[in-house]
A and B are shown apart, each in its own frame.
Chain A
């Protein structure tokens, strides 16, 4: 069975601090995709990244970076120099093997991130 675990329910940091959101996944598939989404108070999901199971290179996009480690089944997300606008709920997610247009996405429980000014 596939599962995504985000152990951190809520995180609160002061602006400009770095913060890491943890994600651990379980799957029996050798081919899969991992995602991170941001959900601001408006509710609309904002796509942040997709990573396939064969690409373990770390990714950096501005203040955001992702660390994918298959050995520990983790796909962690770090925000550097956090800003108040980063406050949102962040979801880690996993799609089934052979990701295609028809593959359903399984979401973790989410981490509520609050950035205090």
Chain B
């Protein structure tokens, strides 16, 4: 099956700094990528849908100026958490789509101190 990678797998940053998370489809081209957030012991909540070459579509309640998404190529989407705060600490998971299938990345655990 298709493989989706995320980098880094975990990151610790200080409050007020920005952190970038990469999502790559390794062996297929993904016109659409999705970003999810999962707080401890909770479900996955969709944050945004990212289409290559266009602006991301954010779900209601997600601050687009805080969570910057860039989908510059068919194999790479990035999520930048700007001015991170402890409440942004979470598990971030991306998924990448090829026709009729979605594949999930392994996730990135972000801890903001």
Contact = CB atoms under 8 A, between A and B. Distances in A.
Nearest to A93: B44
Interface size class of A (residues with CB under 8 A): 10 to 19
B97 A101 contact: yes
Interface of B: 30-32, 34, 41-46, 49, 51, 91, 93, 95, 97-102, 104, 106-107, 109
Contact of B99 (A37, A44, A101): A101
Given A99-B100, A100-B99, A104-B34, A43 B106 contact: yes
Contacts of B100: 99-101
B49 A44 contact: no
Contacts of B44: 45, 91, 107
Contact of A101 (B45, B91, B102, B107): B102
A43 B109 contact: yes
